[in-house]
Chain A
């Protein structure tokens, strides 16, 4: 570091700097199906302001987003749609299960409701509550950022496993 405080150069590992970029620019895809969606909107709006953590660019296309926020009840007819949306997202992708219904089916333990989205797709963070408070969502986002930085999310682990198996030559997953 030079005398005026500006950083001339800095040494790091490629994985670390890439994950640092990923964790501070998470683009969420809002999959709001019921009242949890309203809380999600509140979290994105100015009072709680999710953009403080670099996650304000809400994308409605799965191909442009990293984080799938499943906010609300997923019934059995919606489940294949959710699976398709998840499959269309490009790696690495993260999933936040927002609220009781998405995490476990909530109070709807009946024939028509999926009992937790983790029966369908891998979930990285769960937010408890019915619906969760915005503070809880921000906490989950920060927790997810920690996981992304350490490469602990499901999709990063799967990529690393693929890399270590020798099938992929590249040393990092750009």
Chain B
């Protein structure tokens, strides 16, 4: 595979449209945060549709805040917050997919997290990160520091383990005959 070849995406070829914009944005980001930016993977040097910015775990909230509020960036919309299990050290990557309504382009921010480590919560930047972080916690067991209500959101509260971890068995059914008990902390 030729990694120099632009990758087709849902929006057609994004590189000719947004390539220059991305370059200036990444430079501004590097100038602003310096060592907090661990690594940048740009198309077409790396086979990706949008730039991937690896950020140090503790600096993620200022970086996200900058990407959201700065007039050059204006990535106002957190399109998705998810994670991946990389099966190496550090084990997880928390992924923030951002979208800009003004320039209609996207960018991807990632944080590397070891198993058991905590990522600062992004709720102060986007309220909607609340449930997304709960889902990441539910599926991967990645904890978020400062999250006000870090409970399981999809699986039964009696569930053992985190189903999207690579070491969780695909057919690890946990069948409960009676309904999920109400969380006592939610009662008045």
Cα A119 to Cα B175 in complex, Å, equals 10
Total residues of chain A contacting the partner, CB 8 A: 15
Q: Which of B130-188 contact A (CB under 8 A)?
A: 154-156, 163, 168-180
Total residues of chain B contacting the partner, CB 8 A: 17
Chain A residues within an 8 Å CB radius of B176:
76, 79-80
Listed by A's residue number, 5 A-B pairs whose Cβ atoms lie within 8 Å are A80-B176, A81-B179, A83-B177, A84-B179, A112-B155
> In whole Å, how far is B23's beta carbon from the nearest beta carbon of chain A?
42
A145: CB under 8 A from chain B?
Answer: no
Besides A76-B176, A112-B155, A114-B173, 12 new A-B residue pairs in contact (Cβ under 8 A), listed by A number: A76-B156, A76-B173, A76-B174, A76-B175, A83-B177, A109-B171, A110-B170, A111-B168, A111-B169, A111-B172, A111-B174, A115-B173
Within the complex, which residue of B169, B172, B174, B180 is in contact with A80, where a contact is CB–CB below 8 Å?
A: B180
B interface with A by C-beta (< 8 Å): 154-156, 163, 168-180
Q: Which of A90-144 contact B (CB under 8 A)?
A: 109-112, 114-115, 119-120
A77-B155, A77-B156 are contacts. A111–B178 as well, Cβ < 8 Å? no
Chain A residues within an 8 Å CB radius of B173:
76, 111, 114-115
* Nearest CB in chain B to that of A110: its residue: B170
Cα A119 to Cα B172 in complex, Å, equals 16
> In whole Å, how far is A114's beta carbon from the nearest beta carbon of chain B?
7
Cα A84 to Cα B176 in complex, Å, equals 12
> Which of B171, B173, B175, B176 is most buried by chain A, counting CB atoms within 10 A of its CB?
B173
Chain B residues within an 8 Å CB radius of A81:
179
Chain B residues within an 8 Å CB radius of A76:
156, 173-176
> In whole Å, how far is B178's beta carbon from the nearest beta carbon of chain A?
5
Cα A31 to Cα B184 in complex, Å, equals 29
Cα A115 to Cα B175 in complex, Å, equals 10
Cα A80 to Cα B163 in complex, Å, equals 20
Whether A111 and B171, one on each chain, are in contact in the complex, defined by CB atoms closer than 8 angstroms, is yes
> Which of A76, A109, A120 is most buried by chain B, counting CB atoms within 10 A of its CB?
A76
Cα A124 to Cα B163 in complex, Å, equals 33
> In whole Å, how far is B134's beta carbon from the nearest beta carbon of chain A?
15
Cα A83 to Cα B175 in complex, Å, equals 12
Q: Which of A64-82 contact B (CB under 8 A)?
A: 76-77, 79-81
Chain A residues within an 8 Å CB radius of B179:
80-81, 84
> In whole Å, how far is A173's beta carbon from the nearest beta carbon of chain B?
27
> In whole Å, how far is B152's beta carbon from the nearest beta carbon of chain A?
11
A77-B155, A77-B180, A80-B180 are contacts. A111–B175 as well, Cβ < 8 Å? no
Chain A residues within an 8 Å CB radius of B163:
111-112
Which 6 pairs across A and B sit closest by C-beta, in order of nearness?
A80-B179, A111-B172, A111-B163, A80-B178, A77-B156, A76-B175
Chain A residues within an 8 Å CB radius of B155:
77, 112
Within the complex, which residue of A84, A109, A110, A114 is in contact with B175, where a contact is CB–CB below 8 Å?
A: A114
